[in-house]
Structure 1
Amino acid sequence: MRLLSVTLLAGLLAPTYAQKVKVMLLGDSITELTCWRPLVWNQIISAGLASNIDFVGTMSDLQAQCSRPSGFDPNHEGHSGWQAYDIARNNIVGWVQNTKPDVVQFMLGTNDVNIGKRNAQSILDSYTTMLNAMRAANPRVKVIIDKLIPTSWSDATIEAVNSAIPGWVQTHTTPQSPIVIADCSRAAGFTNAMLQTDGVHPNAQGDQFIAKQIGPKLIQFINDVRGGAIS
Protein backbone atom coordinates (compact mmCIF):
# COMPACT_ATOMS: atom_id res chain seq x y z
CA MET A 1 0.00 0.00 0.00
CA ARG A 2 2.83 2.41 0.81
CA LEU A 3 4.48 1.68 -2.54
CA LEU A 4 1.20 2.35 -4.31
CA SER A 5 0.79 5.67 -2.50
CA VAL A 6 4.31 6.76 -3.45
CA THR A 7 3.66 5.80 -7.07
CA LEU A 8 0.44 7.79 -7.15
CA LEU A 9 2.15 10.81 -5.59
CA ALA A 10 4.96 10.64 -8.13
CA GLY A 11 2.39 10.63 -10.90
CA LEU A 12 0.71 13.72 -9.50
CA LEU A 13 4.01 15.57 -9.25
CA ALA A 14 5.16 14.64 -12.77
CA PRO A 15 4.89 17.22 -15.57
CA THR A 16 1.26 17.62 -16.51
CA TYR A 17 1.78 17.98 -20.28
CA ALA A 18 3.70 15.21 -22.03
CA GLN A 19 2.31 15.77 -25.54
CA LYS A 20 3.55 18.35 -27.99
CA VAL A 21 2.21 21.84 -27.42
CA LYS A 22 -0.09 22.76 -30.30
CA VAL A 23 0.41 26.30 -31.57
CA MET A 24 -1.77 28.05 -34.14
CA LEU A 25 -0.32 31.07 -35.96
CA LEU A 26 -3.42 32.86 -37.25
CA GLY A 27 -3.62 35.82 -39.58
CA ASP A 28 -3.72 37.15 -43.10
CA SER A 29 -0.94 37.68 -45.67
CA ILE A 30 1.28 39.20 -42.97
CA THR A 31 1.33 35.67 -41.56
CA GLU A 32 1.17 33.68 -44.80
CA LEU A 33 3.43 35.54 -47.23
CA THR A 34 6.21 36.98 -45.07
CA CYS A 35 9.16 35.40 -43.31
CA TRP A 36 8.75 36.00 -39.59
CA ARG A 37 7.46 32.47 -38.91
CA PRO A 38 10.80 30.73 -39.60
CA LEU A 39 12.56 33.45 -37.62
CA VAL A 40 10.38 32.57 -34.63
CA TRP A 41 11.20 28.92 -35.24
CA ASN A 42 14.90 29.78 -34.88
CA GLN A 43 14.12 31.27 -31.46
CA ILE A 44 12.25 28.08 -30.55
CA ILE A 45 15.29 26.03 -31.58
CA SER A 46 17.53 28.23 -29.43
CA ALA A 47 15.17 27.68 -26.50
CA GLY A 48 15.47 23.91 -26.96
CA LEU A 49 11.74 23.52 -27.65
CA ALA A 50 11.57 22.51 -31.31
CA SER A 51 10.79 18.88 -30.51
CA ASN A 52 8.09 19.91 -28.03
CA ILE A 53 5.74 21.87 -30.28
CA ASP A 54 3.44 21.28 -33.20
CA PHE A 55 2.39 24.20 -35.37
CA VAL A 56 -1.17 23.46 -36.50
CA GLY A 57 -3.32 24.76 -39.34
CA THR A 58 -4.71 24.02 -42.77
CA MET A 59 -1.95 25.96 -44.56
CA SER A 60 1.66 24.86 -45.01
CA ASP A 61 3.18 27.24 -47.55
CA LEU A 62 6.40 29.22 -47.11
CA GLN A 63 7.59 31.78 -49.61
CA ALA A 64 10.74 31.03 -51.61
CA GLN A 65 12.55 34.07 -50.25
CA CYS A 66 12.22 32.81 -46.67
CA SER A 67 14.90 30.68 -45.06
CA ARG A 68 13.72 27.26 -43.90
CA PRO A 69 15.40 26.28 -40.62
CA SER A 70 16.12 22.66 -39.82
CA GLY A 71 12.96 20.86 -38.77
CA PHE A 72 10.76 23.88 -39.50
CA ASP A 73 7.06 23.15 -39.05
CA PRO A 74 5.25 25.13 -41.77
CA ASN A 75 1.63 24.67 -40.70
CA HIS A 76 -0.31 27.85 -40.01
CA GLU A 77 -3.64 29.65 -40.52
CA GLY A 78 -2.45 32.70 -42.42
CA HIS A 79 -4.84 33.54 -45.28
CA SER A 80 -3.99 36.34 -47.68
CA GLY A 81 -6.72 38.92 -48.09
CA TRP A 82 -8.94 37.49 -45.36
CA GLN A 83 -10.63 39.66 -42.75
CA ALA A 84 -11.08 39.05 -39.05
CA TYR A 85 -14.81 39.67 -39.59
CA ASP A 86 -15.16 36.72 -41.97
CA ILE A 87 -12.79 34.39 -40.11
CA ALA A 88 -14.73 34.99 -36.90
CA ARG A 89 -18.04 34.11 -38.52
CA ASN A 90 -17.13 31.42 -41.04
CA ASN A 91 -13.86 29.67 -40.19
CA ILE A 92 -12.48 29.88 -36.69
CA VAL A 93 -14.83 27.35 -35.10
CA GLY A 94 -13.84 24.60 -37.52
CA TRP A 95 -10.14 25.40 -37.33
CA VAL A 96 -9.89 25.31 -33.55
CA GLN A 97 -12.28 22.42 -33.05
CA ASN A 98 -10.20 20.31 -35.46
CA THR A 99 -6.87 21.13 -33.78
CA LYS A 100 -7.70 22.29 -30.22
CA PRO A 101 -4.58 24.50 -29.98
CA ASP A 102 -2.90 25.16 -26.65
CA VAL A 103 -1.63 28.53 -27.86
CA VAL A 104 -3.06 30.83 -30.52
CA GLN A 105 -1.12 33.83 -31.81
CA PHE A 106 -2.89 36.19 -34.19
CA MET A 107 -2.56 39.45 -36.10
CA LEU A 108 -5.77 40.34 -37.91
CA GLY A 109 -7.53 43.54 -38.89
CA THR A 110 -5.46 45.11 -41.66
CA ASN A 111 -7.78 43.76 -44.36
CA ASP A 112 -10.86 44.69 -42.33
CA VAL A 113 -9.60 48.28 -42.56
CA ASN A 114 -8.20 48.36 -46.11
CA ILE A 115 -10.72 46.08 -47.84
CA GLY A 116 -13.75 45.84 -45.56
CA LYS A 117 -13.68 49.50 -44.47
CA ARG A 118 -14.71 48.34 -41.01
CA ASN A 119 -14.33 50.38 -37.87
CA ALA A 120 -12.28 49.54 -34.81
CA GLN A 121 -15.24 48.24 -32.79
CA SER A 122 -16.20 45.80 -35.55
CA ILE A 123 -12.66 44.40 -35.51
CA LEU A 124 -12.63 44.10 -31.71
CA ASP A 125 -16.00 42.33 -31.83
CA SER A 126 -14.49 39.85 -34.28
CA TYR A 127 -11.61 39.27 -31.87
CA THR A 128 -14.15 38.45 -29.15
CA THR A 129 -16.00 36.00 -31.39
CA MET A 130 -12.73 34.28 -32.24
CA LEU A 131 -11.67 34.14 -28.60
CA ASN A 132 -14.96 32.54 -27.63
CA ALA A 133 -14.44 29.85 -30.27
CA MET A 134 -10.88 29.22 -29.09
CA ARG A 135 -12.01 28.78 -25.51
CA ALA A 136 -14.90 26.54 -26.53
CA ALA A 137 -12.33 24.25 -28.18
CA ASN A 138 -9.85 24.49 -25.29
CA PRO A 139 -10.86 26.33 -22.10
CA ARG A 140 -7.18 26.70 -21.14
CA VAL A 141 -6.00 28.16 -24.45
CA LYS A 142 -3.35 30.85 -24.14
CA VAL A 143 -3.63 33.74 -26.59
CA ILE A 144 -1.12 36.19 -28.03
CA ILE A 145 -2.78 39.10 -29.79
CA ASP A 146 -0.53 41.30 -31.91
CA LYS A 147 -0.94 45.00 -32.21
CA LEU A 148 -1.09 45.63 -35.95
CA ILE A 149 1.92 46.76 -37.90
CA PRO A 150 1.31 50.20 -39.39
CA THR A 151 0.65 51.08 -43.00
CA SER A 152 2.95 53.61 -44.61
CA TRP A 153 0.08 56.14 -44.53
CA SER A 154 -0.55 55.61 -40.78
CA ASP A 155 -4.20 54.60 -41.08
CA ALA A 156 -6.21 56.07 -38.21
CA THR A 157 -8.39 52.96 -37.81
CA ILE A 158 -5.35 50.70 -37.39
CA GLU A 159 -4.06 53.09 -34.75
CA ALA A 160 -7.48 53.05 -33.06
CA VAL A 161 -7.50 49.23 -32.97
CA ASN A 162 -4.02 49.21 -31.46
CA SER A 163 -5.05 51.75 -28.83
CA ALA A 164 -8.07 49.64 -27.91
CA ILE A 165 -6.28 46.27 -27.69
CA PRO A 166 -4.94 46.72 -24.11
CA GLY A 167 -8.45 47.40 -22.81
CA TRP A 168 -9.82 44.43 -24.76
CA VAL A 169 -7.13 42.21 -23.24
CA GLN A 170 -7.84 43.49 -19.72
CA THR A 171 -11.54 42.74 -20.18
CA HIS A 172 -11.10 39.24 -21.57
CA THR A 173 -7.96 37.74 -20.03
CA THR A 174 -8.46 35.15 -17.28
CA PRO A 175 -6.11 33.12 -15.08
CA GLN A 176 -7.24 29.95 -16.85
CA SER A 177 -6.94 31.39 -20.36
CA PRO A 178 -4.52 34.33 -20.32
CA ILE A 179 -4.06 36.82 -23.13
CA VAL A 180 -0.89 38.82 -23.74
CA ILE A 181 0.06 41.43 -26.33
CA ALA A 182 2.88 41.24 -28.85
CA ASP A 183 3.33 44.89 -29.74
CA CYS A 184 4.16 45.19 -33.43
CA SER A 185 2.86 48.74 -33.74
CA ARG A 186 4.48 51.97 -34.78
CA ALA A 187 4.46 53.06 -31.14
CA ALA A 188 6.66 50.05 -30.31
CA GLY A 189 9.18 50.98 -32.99
CA PHE A 190 7.89 49.55 -36.27
CA THR A 191 8.79 52.13 -38.94
CA ASN A 192 7.97 52.72 -42.59
CA ALA A 193 11.49 51.52 -43.42
CA MET A 194 10.34 48.06 -42.25
CA LEU A 195 7.59 47.91 -44.90
CA GLN A 196 7.69 46.64 -48.47
CA THR A 197 7.00 49.10 -51.27
CA ASP A 198 3.26 48.34 -51.02
CA GLY A 199 3.25 50.07 -47.64
CA VAL A 200 1.38 47.15 -46.01
CA HIS A 201 3.60 44.08 -45.71
CA PRO A 202 6.83 43.80 -43.72
CA ASN A 203 10.16 43.53 -45.49
CA ALA A 204 13.07 41.53 -44.09
CA GLN A 205 13.68 44.16 -41.39
CA GLY A 206 10.01 44.15 -40.51
CA ASP A 207 10.00 40.36 -40.28
CA GLN A 208 12.84 40.58 -37.78
CA PHE A 209 10.89 43.11 -35.73
CA ILE A 210 7.72 41.00 -35.68
CA ALA A 211 9.65 37.85 -34.75
CA LYS A 212 11.33 39.64 -31.84
CA GLN A 213 7.97 40.77 -30.51
CA ILE A 214 6.19 37.44 -30.90
CA GLY A 215 8.90 34.87 -30.22
CA PRO A 216 9.60 35.47 -26.50
CA LYS A 217 5.91 35.54 -25.61
CA LEU A 218 5.28 32.38 -27.58
CA ILE A 219 8.19 30.61 -25.89
CA GLN A 220 6.91 31.68 -22.48
CA PHE A 221 3.46 30.26 -23.20
CA ILE A 222 4.93 27.03 -24.58
CA ASN A 223 6.90 26.60 -21.36
CA ASP A 224 3.81 27.42 -19.31
CA VAL A 225 1.79 24.73 -21.09
CA ARG A 226 4.57 22.18 -20.73
CA GLY A 227 4.88 22.94 -17.04
CA GLY A 228 1.17 22.88 -16.44
CA ALA A 229 1.23 26.53 -15.37
CA ILE A 230 -1.96 28.54 -15.48
CA SER A 231 -0.45 31.85 -16.52
Structure 2
Amino acid sequence: MVSVKLLSLAALVGAAVAQNTTALRYMPFGDSITEITCWRSKLWDKLQGTDYANTNFVGSGKNENNCRNTKYDRDNEGHSGFLAINIANNKQLVGWLQRNPADVITMHLGTNDIVQQNKPVNQIIAAFTTLVQVMRDSNPKMKIVVAQIIPMGMGNFNAKIQALNQAITPWAQAQNTTESPVWVVDQYTGYSGSADNRDGIHPNAGGDDKMVNIWYPALLGAFQAARADQVAAAAEAAAAERRVMPFMA
Protein backbone atom coordinates (compact mmCIF):
# COMPACT_ATOMS: atom_id res chain seq x y z
CA MET A 1 0.00 0.00 0.00
CA VAL A 2 1.35 3.43 -0.91
CA SER A 3 1.31 5.69 2.10
CA VAL A 4 -0.62 8.91 2.32
CA LYS A 5 2.58 10.60 3.46
CA LEU A 6 4.39 9.61 0.28
CA LEU A 7 1.53 10.86 -1.83
CA SER A 8 1.57 14.11 0.10
CA LEU A 9 5.30 14.36 -0.44
CA ALA A 10 4.87 13.91 -4.17
CA ALA A 11 2.24 16.62 -4.20
CA LEU A 12 4.50 18.93 -2.20
CA VAL A 13 7.44 18.27 -4.51
CA GLY A 14 5.32 19.02 -7.55
CA ALA A 15 4.08 22.21 -5.95
CA ALA A 16 7.62 23.21 -5.01
CA VAL A 17 8.86 22.70 -8.56
CA ALA A 18 5.96 24.73 -9.94
CA GLN A 19 6.55 27.50 -7.42
CA ASN A 20 10.26 27.67 -8.14
CA THR A 21 9.92 27.79 -11.92
CA THR A 22 7.26 30.43 -12.36
CA ALA A 23 8.64 33.97 -12.32
CA LEU A 24 12.22 34.66 -13.27
CA ARG A 25 13.55 38.03 -12.13
CA TYR A 26 15.08 40.15 -14.89
CA MET A 27 16.84 43.50 -14.37
CA PRO A 28 17.33 45.85 -17.34
CA PHE A 29 20.40 47.78 -16.12
CA GLY A 30 22.06 50.78 -17.69
CA ASP A 31 21.80 54.50 -18.29
CA SER A 32 19.19 56.57 -20.15
CA ILE A 33 19.32 54.19 -23.12
CA THR A 34 17.69 51.73 -20.74
CA GLU A 35 15.62 54.19 -18.70
CA ILE A 36 13.92 56.59 -21.13
CA THR A 37 13.40 54.38 -24.17
CA CYS A 38 10.76 51.86 -25.26
CA TRP A 39 12.77 48.75 -26.06
CA ARG A 40 11.80 47.36 -22.65
CA SER A 41 8.09 47.56 -23.46
CA LYS A 42 8.69 45.89 -26.81
CA LEU A 43 10.74 43.17 -25.15
CA TRP A 44 7.91 42.53 -22.70
CA ASP A 45 5.51 42.24 -25.63
CA LYS A 46 7.74 39.69 -27.40
CA LEU A 47 7.97 37.59 -24.24
CA GLN A 48 4.19 37.25 -24.00
CA GLY A 49 4.20 34.50 -26.62
CA THR A 50 6.85 32.45 -24.81
CA ASP A 51 7.28 30.34 -21.69
CA TYR A 52 8.69 33.47 -20.03
CA ALA A 53 5.58 35.63 -20.30
CA ASN A 54 5.42 36.04 -16.52
CA THR A 55 9.05 37.17 -16.18
CA ASN A 56 9.25 39.75 -13.40
CA PHE A 57 11.14 42.83 -14.54
CA VAL A 58 12.84 44.29 -11.46
CA GLY A 59 14.45 47.60 -10.52
CA SER A 60 13.77 50.88 -8.76
CA GLY A 61 12.69 52.75 -11.89
CA LYS A 62 9.08 52.66 -13.09
CA ASN A 63 8.94 55.38 -15.75
CA GLU A 64 6.66 54.92 -18.77
CA ASN A 65 8.31 56.95 -21.60
CA ASN A 66 5.10 57.36 -23.65
CA CYS A 67 5.52 53.86 -25.05
CA ARG A 68 1.76 53.52 -25.64
CA ASN A 69 1.72 50.29 -23.69
CA THR A 70 -0.32 50.18 -20.49
CA LYS A 71 0.47 46.56 -19.67
CA TYR A 72 4.23 46.09 -19.68
CA ASP A 73 6.29 45.65 -16.53
CA ARG A 74 8.08 48.98 -16.21
CA ASP A 75 10.55 48.08 -13.46
CA ASN A 76 14.14 48.71 -14.48
CA GLU A 77 17.50 49.93 -13.19
CA GLY A 78 18.26 52.50 -15.88
CA HIS A 79 19.76 55.77 -14.65
CA SER A 80 20.02 58.73 -16.99
CA GLY A 81 23.42 60.39 -17.08
CA PHE A 82 25.15 57.76 -14.94
CA LEU A 83 28.66 56.53 -15.75
CA ALA A 84 29.67 52.88 -15.43
CA ILE A 85 32.80 54.01 -13.59
CA ASN A 86 30.81 55.99 -11.02
CA ILE A 87 28.25 53.22 -10.48
CA ALA A 88 31.13 50.82 -9.82
CA ASN A 89 33.20 53.15 -7.63
CA ASN A 90 30.20 54.30 -5.58
CA LYS A 91 28.94 50.73 -5.15
CA GLN A 92 25.47 51.77 -6.29
CA LEU A 93 24.64 48.46 -7.95
CA VAL A 94 25.18 46.75 -4.60
CA GLY A 95 22.14 48.47 -3.09
CA TRP A 96 20.06 48.21 -6.25
CA LEU A 97 20.47 44.43 -6.31
CA GLN A 98 19.92 44.12 -2.57
CA ARG A 99 16.55 45.81 -2.96
CA ASN A 100 15.67 44.07 -6.24
CA PRO A 101 17.47 40.71 -6.63
CA ALA A 102 17.67 39.28 -10.13
CA ASP A 103 18.32 36.00 -11.93
CA VAL A 104 19.14 37.64 -15.28
CA ILE A 105 20.55 41.07 -16.03
CA THR A 106 21.21 43.06 -19.20
CA MET A 107 23.79 45.84 -19.18
CA HIS A 108 24.08 48.67 -21.71
CA LEU A 109 26.63 51.08 -20.21
CA GLY A 110 29.57 53.21 -21.22
CA THR A 111 27.92 55.92 -23.30
CA ASN A 112 28.14 58.59 -20.60
CA ASP A 113 31.68 57.58 -19.66
CA ILE A 114 32.67 58.44 -23.23
CA VAL A 115 30.33 61.32 -24.08
CA GLN A 116 30.48 63.19 -20.78
CA GLN A 117 34.02 62.62 -19.57
CA ASN A 118 35.99 60.86 -22.32
CA LYS A 119 37.05 58.13 -19.91
CA PRO A 120 39.71 55.67 -21.14
CA VAL A 121 38.41 52.35 -22.40
CA ASN A 122 40.52 50.40 -19.90
CA GLN A 123 38.88 52.25 -17.00
CA ILE A 124 35.39 51.52 -18.35
CA ILE A 125 36.27 47.84 -18.75
CA ALA A 126 37.64 47.76 -15.19
CA ALA A 127 34.32 49.18 -14.00
CA PHE A 128 32.50 46.44 -15.92
CA THR A 129 34.59 43.84 -14.07
CA THR A 130 33.60 45.37 -10.74
CA LEU A 131 29.93 45.41 -11.73
CA VAL A 132 29.99 41.75 -12.79
CA GLN A 133 31.47 40.83 -9.43
CA VAL A 134 28.69 42.76 -7.69
CA MET A 135 26.13 40.85 -9.76
CA ARG A 136 27.68 37.54 -8.74
CA ASP A 137 27.96 38.56 -5.10
CA SER A 138 24.21 39.16 -5.24
CA ASN A 139 23.54 35.90 -7.09
CA PRO A 140 26.39 33.46 -7.81
CA LYS A 141 24.35 32.06 -10.71
CA MET A 142 23.51 35.41 -12.29
CA LYS A 143 23.03 35.22 -16.06
CA ILE A 144 24.56 38.33 -17.64
CA VAL A 145 23.97 39.83 -21.10
CA VAL A 146 26.30 42.74 -21.95
CA ALA A 147 25.82 45.04 -24.94
CA GLN A 148 28.33 46.41 -27.33
CA ILE A 149 26.69 49.81 -27.15
CA ILE A 150 24.80 51.70 -29.85
CA PRO A 151 26.47 54.48 -31.87
CA MET A 152 25.85 58.19 -31.44
CA GLY A 153 24.42 60.45 -34.12
CA MET A 154 26.18 63.50 -32.73
CA GLY A 155 29.75 64.57 -32.02
CA ASN A 156 32.85 62.50 -32.73
CA PHE A 157 32.27 59.75 -30.22
CA ASN A 158 31.84 56.65 -32.38
CA ALA A 159 35.53 55.84 -32.75
CA LYS A 160 35.80 55.63 -28.96
CA ILE A 161 32.56 53.66 -28.76
CA GLN A 162 33.92 51.20 -31.30
CA ALA A 163 37.12 50.85 -29.26
CA LEU A 164 35.05 50.07 -26.17
CA ASN A 165 32.91 47.59 -28.08
CA GLN A 166 35.99 45.86 -29.43
CA ALA A 167 37.36 45.50 -25.89
CA ILE A 168 34.11 44.06 -24.55
CA THR A 169 34.39 40.73 -26.38
CA PRO A 170 37.71 39.50 -24.94
CA TRP A 171 36.78 40.96 -21.56
CA ALA A 172 33.53 38.97 -21.52
CA GLN A 173 35.32 35.79 -22.55
CA ALA A 174 37.62 36.21 -19.56
CA GLN A 175 34.66 36.87 -17.24
CA ASN A 176 32.53 33.98 -18.48
CA THR A 177 31.90 31.02 -16.17
CA THR A 178 29.70 27.95 -16.42
CA GLU A 179 27.69 28.93 -13.36
CA SER A 180 27.34 32.59 -14.31
CA PRO A 181 27.69 32.98 -18.09
CA VAL A 182 28.33 36.30 -19.79
CA TRP A 183 26.84 36.76 -23.25
CA VAL A 184 27.77 39.67 -25.53
CA VAL A 185 25.25 41.17 -27.95
CA ASP A 186 26.20 43.56 -30.74
CA GLN A 187 23.92 46.60 -30.53
CA TYR A 188 26.27 48.66 -32.74
CA THR A 189 26.40 46.85 -36.07
CA GLY A 190 23.46 47.71 -38.32
CA TYR A 191 22.34 50.55 -36.06
CA SER A 192 22.44 54.12 -37.40
CA GLY A 193 23.27 56.80 -34.89
CA SER A 194 21.46 59.33 -37.04
CA ALA A 195 18.49 57.41 -38.49
CA ASP A 196 17.76 55.19 -35.47
CA ASN A 197 18.17 57.80 -32.71
CA ARG A 198 15.58 60.49 -32.04
CA ASP A 199 18.11 62.99 -30.68
CA GLY A 200 21.47 61.57 -31.66
CA ILE A 201 21.65 59.58 -28.41
CA HIS A 202 18.41 57.73 -27.59
CA PRO A 203 16.61 55.23 -29.83
CA ASN A 204 13.53 56.24 -31.75
CA ALA A 205 10.85 53.65 -32.52
CA GLY A 206 13.01 52.04 -35.21
CA GLY A 207 16.01 52.02 -32.88
CA ASP A 208 13.94 50.39 -30.14
CA ASP A 209 12.95 47.67 -32.61
CA LYS A 210 16.56 47.05 -33.55
CA MET A 211 17.67 46.91 -29.93
CA VAL A 212 14.95 44.51 -28.82
CA ASN A 213 15.62 42.21 -31.76
CA ILE A 214 19.23 41.93 -30.61
CA TRP A 215 18.44 41.52 -26.91
CA TYR A 216 15.65 38.98 -27.44
CA PRO A 217 17.45 35.79 -28.58
CA ALA A 218 20.24 36.25 -26.05
CA LEU A 219 17.71 36.77 -23.27
CA LEU A 220 15.82 33.63 -24.24
CA GLY A 221 19.06 31.71 -23.76
CA ALA A 222 19.70 33.42 -20.45
CA PHE A 223 16.17 32.74 -19.24
CA GLN A 224 16.47 29.09 -20.26
CA ALA A 225 19.69 28.77 -18.26
CA ALA A 226 18.14 30.48 -15.24
CA ARG A 227 15.06 28.27 -15.45
CA ALA A 228 17.30 25.19 -15.52
CA ASP A 229 18.90 26.41 -12.29
CA GLN A 230 15.46 26.71 -10.70
CA VAL A 231 14.46 23.21 -11.75
CA ALA A 232 17.73 21.74 -10.49
CA ALA A 233 17.38 23.53 -7.14
CA ALA A 234 13.80 22.32 -6.74
CA ALA A 235 14.79 18.74 -7.56
CA GLU A 236 17.68 18.90 -5.10
CA ALA A 237 15.39 20.21 -2.36
CA ALA A 238 12.88 17.46 -3.08
CA ALA A 239 15.57 14.80 -2.95
CA ALA A 240 16.80 16.15 0.39
CA GLU A 241 13.27 16.06 1.77
CA ARG A 242 12.82 12.47 0.65
CA ARG A 243 16.05 11.49 2.43
CA VAL A 244 14.89 12.85 5.77
CA MET A 245 11.23 11.75 5.60
CA PRO A 246 10.66 8.28 7.09
CA PHE A 247 9.16 5.67 4.79
CA MET A 248 5.69 4.45 5.76
CA ALA A 249 4.27 1.37 4.11
TM-score higher than 0.5: yes
What are structure 2's unaligned runs of at least 5 residues?
Answer: 233-249
Task: For 1:17 and 1:217, locate their aligned partners in 2 and report how far apart those are by CA, in whole Å.
Answer: 22
The Cα shift of 1:97 comes to 2.1
Aligned-partner residue type, residue 61 of structure 1: N
The Cα shift of 1:50 comes to 2.1
Question: What SS does structure 2 have at the residue aligned with 1:50?
Answer: coil
Q: Deviations over 1:48-71 (max 9, x none)?
A: 4222x111111100112x12153x
Listed as ranges, the matches of 1:1-231 within 5 Å are 11=13, 14=17, 17-51=20-54, 53-64=55-66, 66-68=67-69, 70=71, 72-90=72-90, 91-152=92-153, 153=156, 155-185=158-188, 188-191=189-192, 192-196=194-198, 198-228=199-229
What are structure 1's unaligned runs of at least 5 residues?
Answer: none
TM-score, normalised by the number of residues in structure 2: 0.82
Note if contact 1:16-1:228 (Cα within 8 Å) is conserved in structure 2.
no
Q: 1:105 to 1:129 in 2, by over 3 A?
A: same
More deviation in 84-93 or 168-177?
84-93
Q: What percentage of aligned pairs have identical amino acids?
A: 33
The Cα shift of 1:87 comes to 1.1
Note if contact 2:27-2:102 (Cα within 8 Å) is conserved in structure 1.
yes
The Cα shift of 1:155 comes to 2.1
Q: Deviations over 1:96-130 (max 9, x none)?
A: 12222101101000000011220111111111111
Question: What SS does structure 2 have at the residue aligned with 1:101?
Answer: coil
TM-score, normalised by the number of residues in structure 1: 0.88
Note if contact 1:32-1:79 (Cα within 8 Å) is conserved in structure 2.
yes
Question: What SS does structure 2 have at the residue aligned with 1:212?
Answer: helix
Runs (4+) of structure 1 exceeding 6 A deviation are: 1-6
The Cα shift of 1:19 comes to 4.7
RMSD across aligned C-alpha pairs, in angstroms? 2.4
The Cα shift of 1:227 comes to 2.7
How many residue pairs align between the two structures? Answer: 224
Q: Deviations over 1:2-44 (max 9, x none)?
A: 8678957x94995793352111101111111111110100111
Note if contact 1:17-1:227 (Cα within 8 Å) is conserved in structure 2.
no
More deviation in 159-168 or 97-106?
97-106
The Cα shift of 1:202 comes to 1.3
